[in-house]
Amino acid sequence: MARKVLLPWASRQGRRSFSVSHNYWNAKKGLVLGVYEKEKDDESLHLTEAAECFDHSVSGKLGELLSISGPALKKGKSRVFYGVHEDFSSIAVVGLGKRSAEVCGKENWDSSKENIRAAVSVGCRLLQDLELGQVEVDPCGDAQAAAEGAGLGLFLYDEFKQKKKPAVTAQLHGSTGSAAWQRGVLYAEGQNLARRLMEAPANHVTPTFFANCIQQELSPFSDKVAVHRRPQKWIEEQSMGAFLSVTKGSEEPPVFLELHYKGSPDSNQPPLVLVGKGITFDSGGISLKPSSGMDAMRADMGGAATVCSAIVTAAALNLPINIIGLAPLCENMPSGKATKPGDVVRAKNGKTIQVDNTDAEGRLVLADALCYAHSFSPKAIVNAATLTGAMDVALGSAATGVFTNSDWLWSHLHKASIVTGDRVWRMPLFRHYTQQVTDCQLADLNNIGKYSRSGGACTAAAFLGEFVTAPHWAHLDIAGVMGNKDEVPYLRKGMSGRPTRTLVELAAALSTEP
């Protein structure tokens, strides 16, 4: 039997299974095949290479069924056939759109890759609904995108439900593109790890549990990864007063999680430093949030989840780059010990902060983490955070907002997002916004600025910029992309794990740069 590569949640008892193999199994299984839309003035059927081979093996029966079963398949549509081949009980044929699809400047993504991801996910889910535990997938001309579509589309968080969807094994159909398929599996695996962490209830994913989980995920790579779990005493010794001010209201002890991945053969290579906001539950503190929708704040550690998952993926891919991950982990809760509106705290770099709104806590924990990031003489610093509702208002779920002081770093992030389809959009870092957070009555900075409702995402980024001196820094506000309703067709409803794959692609690109 072929070796199976299990995704993280399949490697431990009680978690959903999605595995990959490159050989055929004797058991009955399903098959996903692709078909392109007919081009203008061309009525012939355009099957993928794998679909053509399959059609030839069944003497043209697949093409005949497609021609008599209804109109030509449009992009994202599907059709299921039964009894076509003795090895496959069900065959899902999915529409890939135009064969000529390419990078679209208007959409800022590779349309061909996105079409494949969406189509493959549709086919896999159809066969999952038929309770087929094994599915072979057509590489559709881009095996990595096909693997991402399968892995991301099949993921479902039902860990606490008694009735679960059947576990599905997805494997490459044929042998063409096996290396790219495996790479796509790892990309999907990374994003699904972030989704699992973000989706889990906050009484399970505490700061301590989060650190345990990431440490366990990195244990196979212990020769290249060092994990440091810094306790509260260490945080105090580092004079991280802004971070500590957020932790005061909770009974859960904070953890400053520090990951060192040494993938470069040059140990002196400056690292890429990834920083993630790790609020495992955000009640708002004394500035309490409305109860409606507060349950979603279990995912307020989405920045830490995506950053840490990206490092797990980089290690699995053995990327030749040094990466340091920093995740300040804690809860933001109200209590008699919690920080009060109007309190003044001191950050690691000595700047004082007037905390007028305790629900603007993410920028406080990031402030100290960004200061600490500079101690590693980084090649670049990228932080990710579900920071502001204003970012959701500005861009919705279409793209991650990026604030950066570096055209070079922006170029790499933008190119990475075109490849992954998990888009980014550049936002302004005007002095106009900095003046709003530095004009403060009691301290050097105010954590919400003079006009709290105006340009909230921009003033939050300007606040973070006061703790950055590195020439290459980017702040990714991922509040708008935290969840998915139906906007991304290859993700089910729930927490999205975005933009994990874009961070991985960024690291991969930087690993090849001189």
Residues 129 and 249 in one domain: no
Specify if 437 maps to a domain.
Answer: no
Specify if 456 maps to a domain.
Answer: no
pLDDT confidence of residue 451 = 76
CA distance 38 to 504: 35
pLDDT confidence of residue 43 = 66
Q: What CATH number is given to the structural domain containing 106?
A: 3.40.220.10
Report residue 396 as tokens: 């919705």
Residues marked active site are found at: 289, 363
CA distance 144 to 185: 7
Residues 154 and 259 in one domain: no
Residues 243 and 370 in one domain: yes
Beta bridge partners of 90: 30, 82
Nearest to 246 by CA among 138, 152, 159, 328: 328
Specify if 451 maps to a domain.
Answer: no
Specify if 364 maps to a domain.
Answer: yes
Which distant-in-sequence residues (6+ apart) come within 8 Å of 488 by Cβ?
397, 496, 498
Q: Is the alpha carbon torsion for 228, 233, 237, 240 positive or negative?
A: positive
Residues 274 and 130 in one domain: no
Residues 161 and 231 in one domain: no
User: Where is the domain boundary, 191, 212, 242?
Assistant: 191
Q: What range defines the domain where residue 75 resides?
A: 5-191
pLDDT confidence of residue 514 = 78
Q: Does the bond joining 514 to the residue before it have cis omega, within 30 degrees of 0?
A: no
Report residue 377 as tokens: 């003489």
CA distance 509 to 514: 10
Q: How far is CA 188 from the centre of its chain?
A: 9
Residues 60 and 160 in one domain: yes
User: Where is the domain boundary, 133, 162, 191?
Assistant: 191
Residues 149 and 207 in one domain: no
Residues 233 and 140 in one domain: no
Low-confidence ranges of the chain (pLDDT < 70): 1-27, 41-43
pLDDT confidence of residue 453 = 77
pLDDT confidence of residue 505 = 98
Specify if 69 maps to a domain.
Answer: yes
Residues 242 and 173 in one domain: no
Domain count, the chain: 2
Report residue 162 as tokens: 């008694």
pLDDT confidence of residue 41 = 65
User: Where is the domain boundary, 156, 191, 226?
Assistant: 191
Residues 101 and 187 in one domain: yes
pLDDT confidence of residue 426 = 98
Specify if 374 maps to a domain.
Answer: yes
CA distance 296 to 294: 5
Specify if 335 maps to a domain.
Answer: yes
pLDDT confidence of residue 27 = 46
- pLDDT tens for 200-227 read 999 999 999 999 999 999 999 999 999 9
Q: How far is CA 114 from the centre of its chain?
A: 16
Nearest to 119 by CA among 490, 493, 492: 490
Q: What CATH number is given to the structural domain containing 385?
A: 3.40.630.10
497 and 484 Cβ atoms separated by less than 8 Å? no
Task: Give the pairing of strands 78-85 and 225-230.
Answer: unpaired
Specify if 47 maps to a domain.
Answer: yes
Residues 138 and 246 in one domain: no
Residues 96 and 209 in one domain: no
pTM of the entire predicted model:
0.94
CA distance 457 to 362: 12
DSSP letter assigned to residue 236:
H
